[in-house]
């Protein structure tokens, strides 16, 4: 089994046995990590528009990139390890009339390094703050922005930063957090319940035609439920928009960027377990 596909499966809480079934398991689930509407709002405020280039690392089925192309008219490139997700993303882009603006490719996001080539880069529910920031930061030009979505620990614990620790990581090297969007436990609960219903239906369908997978599917659903509980208690999902240092429009050397805290109003799909 290919190491990259194992990693991709783990990022959506699935065991290696379920790799060939990821397309079926997530059928009907467009957004696997975050809220495309929120990403659009953040990047609109950052003045991303026609002519801007945006990279979506771990794009899943391309929900965020497609919404960006549709509403802001920017060019989007999405990379994901799961070929079925990439095929679904390209089909959705064609269906929504933005295939000229969107390009989705199968591959390892770590090997997709075109340093400084993008005005904005996003990573929603894929790598932790430390590793995610490194890859995102490398991809955007000085003064560009990146959006990272991950969970922080409510209390200090090994392997997962608290909110303050995450802020310190994200502001290294003079970068500035422009928006910080925190999920409330109620918002997490609402969207996790919706997601769980769809995943349970899909898992039941797969189990009917592949009875040998029953245990793997049951453990997958249990892991999802445990992760959902933990995202309401021990961890908190957060989405940041960070401006990479080097901007000459006022952020560096004279500009003032405050941290704007928001709560989520529109938050679909979050099938990731907190990483420890
Ligand atoms: C929780 S999902 C989020 C998907 C998408 N960002 C969204 O919000 O809908 C995590 C995604 O990261 C992808 N992934 C994980 N590790 C990867 C890697 N090394 N290279 C490319 N994609 C990866 C998985 O295949 C999966 O689609």
Spell out the per-residue pLDDT of the chain, length 276, in tens.
Answer: 589 999 999 999 999 999 999 999 999 999 886 789 999 999 999 999 999 999 999 999 999 999 999 999 999 999 999 999 999 999 999 999 999 999 999 999 998 867 889 999 999 999 999 999 999 999 999 999 999 999 999 999 999 999 999 999 999 999 999 999 998 888 888 888 889 999 999 999 999 999 999 999 999 999 999 998 998 889 999 999 999 998 654 443 333 334 444 444 333 334 444 444
Report yes or no on 268 lying in a domain: no
pTM value is 0.90
- Cα–Cα distance for residue pair 226/75, rounded to 1 Å: 37
**Which ligand 1 atom is nearest residue 108's CA?**
20
Residue ID of nearest Cα to ligand 1 atom 25: 8
Report yes or no on 240 lying in a domain: yes
**106 alpha carbon to ligand 1 midpoint, in Å?**
11
Report yes or no on 213 lying in a domain: yes
Domain count, the chain: 1
Report yes or no on 270 lying in a domain: no
Which residues surround ligand 1 with Cβ inside 6 Å? 4, 7-8, 11-12, 31-34, 58-60, 63-64, 79-82, 85, 108-110, 124-126, 271-272
**176 beta partners:** 243
- Cα–Cα distance for residue pair 197/158, rounded to 1 Å: 32
Report yes or no on 74 lying in a domain: yes
Neighbours of 183 (CB within 10 A): 24
Report yes or no on 182 lying in a domain: yes
Classify residue 82 as exposed, middle or buried by CB count within 10 Å of its CB (0-12, 13-18, 19+): buried
Residue ID of nearest Cα to ligand 1 atom 17: 8
Which tokens sit at 4?
């990259």
Report yes or no on 231 lying in a domain: yes
Domain that residue 76 falls in: 3-263
Q: What are the C-alpha distances in Å from 270 to residues 51, 79, 139, 196?
A: 30, 18, 24, 10
**248 alpha carbon to ligand 1 midpoint, in Å?**
33
- Alpha helix stretches (DSSP H) within the chain: 3-11, 22-25, 36-45, 63-72, 83-95, 129-139, 163-170, 185-209, 214-232
- Which residue of 4, 34, 35, 60 sits with most ligand 1 atoms within 8 Å of its CB, as the best mutation to test the pocket? 60
Say which residues have a Cβ less than 8 Å from residue 216's Cβ, sequence separation at least 6. 15, 17, 18
């Amino acid at each position: 089994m290919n190491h990259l596909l194992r990693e991709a499966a783990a990022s959506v809480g699935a065991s290696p046995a379920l790799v060939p079934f990821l397309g079926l398991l997530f059928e009907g689930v467009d957004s696997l990590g975050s809220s495309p509407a929120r990403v659009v709002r953040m990047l609109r405020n950052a003045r991303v528009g026609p002519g801007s280039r945006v990279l979506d690392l771990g794009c899943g089925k391309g929900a965020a990139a497609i919404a960006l192309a549709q509403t802001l008219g920017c060019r989007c490139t999405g990379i994901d390890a799961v070929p079925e997700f990439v095929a679904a993303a390209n089909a959705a882009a064609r269906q929504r009339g933005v295939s000229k603006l969107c390009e989705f490719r199968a591959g390892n996001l770590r090997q997709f390094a075109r340093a400084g080539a993008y005005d904005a880069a996003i990573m929603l529910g894929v790598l932790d703050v430390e590793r995610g920031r490194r890859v995102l930061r490398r991809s955007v030009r000085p003064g560009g922005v990146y959006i990272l979505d991950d969970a922080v620990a409510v209390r200090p614990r090994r392997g997962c930063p608290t909110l303050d620790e995450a802020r310190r990581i994200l502001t290294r090297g003079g970068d500035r957090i422009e928006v910080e969007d925190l999920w409330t436990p109620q918002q997490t609960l609402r969207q996790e319940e919706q997601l769980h219903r769809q995943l349970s239906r899909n898992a039941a369908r797969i189990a009917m035609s592949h009875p040998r997978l029953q245990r793997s599917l049951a453990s997958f659903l249990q892991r999802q439920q445990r992760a959902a509980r933990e995202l309401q208690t021990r961890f908190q999902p957060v989405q940041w928009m960070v401006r990479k240092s080097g901007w000459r429009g006022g952020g560096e050397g004279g500009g003032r960027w405050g941290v704007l805290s928001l709560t989520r109003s529109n938050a679909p799909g979050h099938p990731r377990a907190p990483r420890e």
